[in-house]
Amino acid sequence: MNRDEPLRDHDRLIEAMRQQIRATPMPPARRAALLRPASAVGRVRYLGWLVAGAVALVAAMVALALALSLVGGATPPPAYAATLNPDRTVTITLREMADIPKLNAKLAALGTRIRVVPVLPGCVALVHVVSNGKVVPAPAQTLHASRTTGSIVSMTIEVKTLPGRTLVIADTRKGLYALGVVVVGRSASSIAIIAAAGEARKHATTSGALALGSGRSSRAQARRAISTTKVRSSSLPDRTCYIPRRYRRRARGGARRSQTGTINRRALGRGRLDR
């Protein structure tokens, strides 16, 4: 400010403040200010210590979280779930094959006739196509499980279309499909869930079930039998194939029987079957 200029009106305010600043001793530096180094090198070191402290703090928090999770403090997501929906559908979620018995117990407790069975890649089973809730009078289709890696899915299935029959949701050689398929039989209904890695996403985009490869059941018809509403994939390191007892009775061919036996032994050996 040029002090030679005549004093303007607002200068009275500025001058009053100037006088007060001159008359007041400078307050002592605060502790935080004293801790901050003045030189550039010191500032870098100061920042370095700050960063190191922050990293140490984060590491301590991570370690604490891990420790808590190890002692059961954290709640992992449920490995399986079965929910009976108001619209007579059941939503099934399965993340680990080992939880299939628990899931089936849950399904039984819900009063549904659905059971989940694991399917091993390479297994072959006879299935029938369902159209509009009824078995299509056509030759049984073959259920192929050919994936070696995959994911388990969560899906919603209409219960009312499964009186005393077996519903199979499976993939085909062409890829993953949720099939509106009923296997004629007297045992309780069962579901074989097979999902291939990378295809669960494709599955999720389909609002309903897809028809078996034969093309005898349209997608719309199959949708009435099976309603797949949500798919959530998770890691499935290994799958086993279980062909229900009635399949074995039907499977008279040597190769198929042999395959079934092999599969069953492997599956039973791992304790992953519910029967």
Partner 1 sequence: MSLVSGRDRSKEAFERLYERVAERLLAFIVRRLGDPDAAAELWAECWAVAFERWHGCRASASGEEEAWVFGIARKRLAGYYRSGAIERRALVRLGWSLPELDRADLDALERLAELDGLKRVIADALAELPTNRQRALRLRIIDGLSYREVAARMGCTEQAARATSRAACALWQR
- To partner 1, the closest distance from the beta carbon of 134 in angstroms equals 52
Q: Please report whether residue 41 would count as binding partner 1 according to CB under 8 A.
A: no
CB nearer to partner 1: pick between 31 and 174: 31
Q: Please report whether residue 27 would count as binding partner 1 according to CB under 8 A.
A: yes
CA–CA distance, 128 with 135 (Å, rounded to integer): 6
Name the residue type at position 38. Answer: A
For partner 1, the binding residues in 158-177 under the rule CB under 8 A are none
CA 152 to centroid of chain Cα atoms: 8
For partner 1, the binding residues in 42-81 under the rule CB under 8 A are none
The 10 Å Cβ neighbour count of residue 220 is: 11
Which token pair is 26? 């400078």
CB nearer to partner 1: pick between 1 and 71: 1
CA–CA distance, 149 with 271 (Å, rounded to integer): 20
Tell me the site size for partner 1, rule CB under 8 A: 24
Q: Please report whether residue 30 would count as binding partner 1 according to CB under 8 A.
A: yes
Provide the strand spans (E) within 78-149. 80-84, 89-94, 116-117, 124-131, 134-135, 141-144
CB nearer to partner 1: pick between 21 and 70: 21
CB nearer to partner 1: pick between 17 and 268: 17
Given a contact cutoff of 8 angstroms between Cβ atoms, the answer to whether 222 and 209 are in contact is yes
| Residue ranges in contact with partner 1 by CB under 8 A | 1, 8-10, 12-14, 16-18, 20-22, 24-30, 32-33, 36, 38
